[in-house]
Amino acid sequence: MNRSLVVIPTYNELDNLQPIVSRTLANPGFDILIVDDSSPDGTGVLADQLADQHPEVHVFHRAVKDGLGGAYLAGFAWALAREYDAVVEMDADGSHHPEDLPRLVGLLDEHDLALGSRWVPGGTVENWPAHRLALSRGGNLYTRLALGIAVADATGGFRAFRADALRRIDLDDVASQGYCFQVDLLWRALQRGLRVVETPIVFTERVSGESKMSGGIVTESLKKVTVWGIRRRLQEARAFLQGHPLPSVRVLSSR
């Protein structure tokens, strides 16, 4: 991947933005796009200052806050219009370690989508309370069962796409948010036969600021994954009766 862009959505991440940008820029060959949703704490102003200081840093200001999914979709469109080879999703709060970027993007030499996984061997989570661990593990287990996919961490938000893979995913009607947004993109990638790999990461709970996770996002995820799972089962049954089984979306590799 000759040109890689790290998309970092922000909303009230003033204390976290400078450190995550500095750590990301320590990896040669990576540009950054900060997608700020008009943060009232001044995150957008700091983003502009960082862009003035570093030619690798760019800023996309959005007038309204409409969620993580919308921010990433705006970042994807920005990256594709500028012909980057790889596009990375990464949180601004330090939970994802920029030091893992070269390894994550390196997997795109042989895969279309590389998932930073907390739940494959070698992956771990630091400083999460028991209820967050249970929520993540339970949500991923339900997703595996509902969709029939062998993915340990379908809800993780540290992942890298080949640009041509993003072009093959129909992004025009994606409206999911939070965990569901990540599952939505993965599910679309698998249904289109893209090559997906999981790689272990250490996920560290944020020190500053507040999590954007909410009960509404969890509820949305459960509802949509259930609908997708039922739809897939109906498609499989129809295809079986017609003598044309659907291609498998169950097998992923792990590195």
The tens digit of pLDDT for each residue in 25-44 reads: 999 999 999 999 999 999 99
The parent domain of residue 174 ranges over: 4-254
| Over residues 179-189, mean pLDDT | 90
- Position 2 scores a pLDDT of 84
| Over residues 114-123, mean pLDDT | 96
28: tokens are 């040669």
222 vs 77, residue with greater confidence: 77
- Quick one: pLDDT band at residue 229, thresholds 50, 70, 90? confident
> Over the range 188-204, which residues count as b (16 or more CB within 10 Å of their CB) and which as e?
bbbbeebbbbbbbbbbb
* Number of domains the chain contains: 1
Residues in the chain: 255
Look at phi and psi of residue 18 and say left if phi exceeds 0, alpha if psi is from -120 to 50, else beta: alpha
β-strand partners of 113: 161, 196
| Over residues 62-86, mean pLDDT | 94
Give just the sign of the alpha carbon dihedral 30, 49, 96, 250.
negative
Does residue 96 carry a pLDDT above 50?
A: yes
Q: How far is CA 225 from the centre of its chain?
A: 16
Does residue 134 carry a pLDDT above 80?
A: yes
Mean confidence (pLDDT) of the chain = 89
- Position 215 scores a pLDDT of 58
Residue type, 38: S
d(CA 118, CA 200): 6
Residue % of the chain over a pLDDT of 70: 89
Does residue 228 carry a pLDDT above 90?
A: no
Does residue 74 carry a pLDDT above 90?
A: yes
- Quick one: pLDDT band at residue 251, thresholds 50, 70, 90? very low
d(CA 19, CA 206): 12
Q: What is the CATH number of the domain that holds 190?
A: 3.90.550.10
- Nearest CA to 145 out of 76, 24, 233 is that of 233
Q: CB under 8 Å to 223, separation ≥6 — which residues?
A: none
- Position 249 scores a pLDDT of 58
β-strand partners of 88: 6, 160
45: tokens are 């102003």
- Position 57 scores a pLDDT of 98
| Over residues 150-163, mean pLDDT | 95
- Quick one: pLDDT band at residue 98, thresholds 50, 70, 90? very high
Residue type, 62: R
Does residue 144 carry a pLDDT above 80?
A: yes
Give just the sign of the alpha carbon dihedral 214, 249, 147, 252.
negative
Are the C-beta atoms of 120 and 254 separated by less than 8 Å?
A: yes
CA neighbours closer than 13 Å in the CB half-sphere of residue 14: 8
Does residue 250 carry a pLDDT above 60?
A: no
Out of 122-136, 154-168, 173-187, pick the least confident.
173-187
Residue % of the chain over a pLDDT of 90: 69
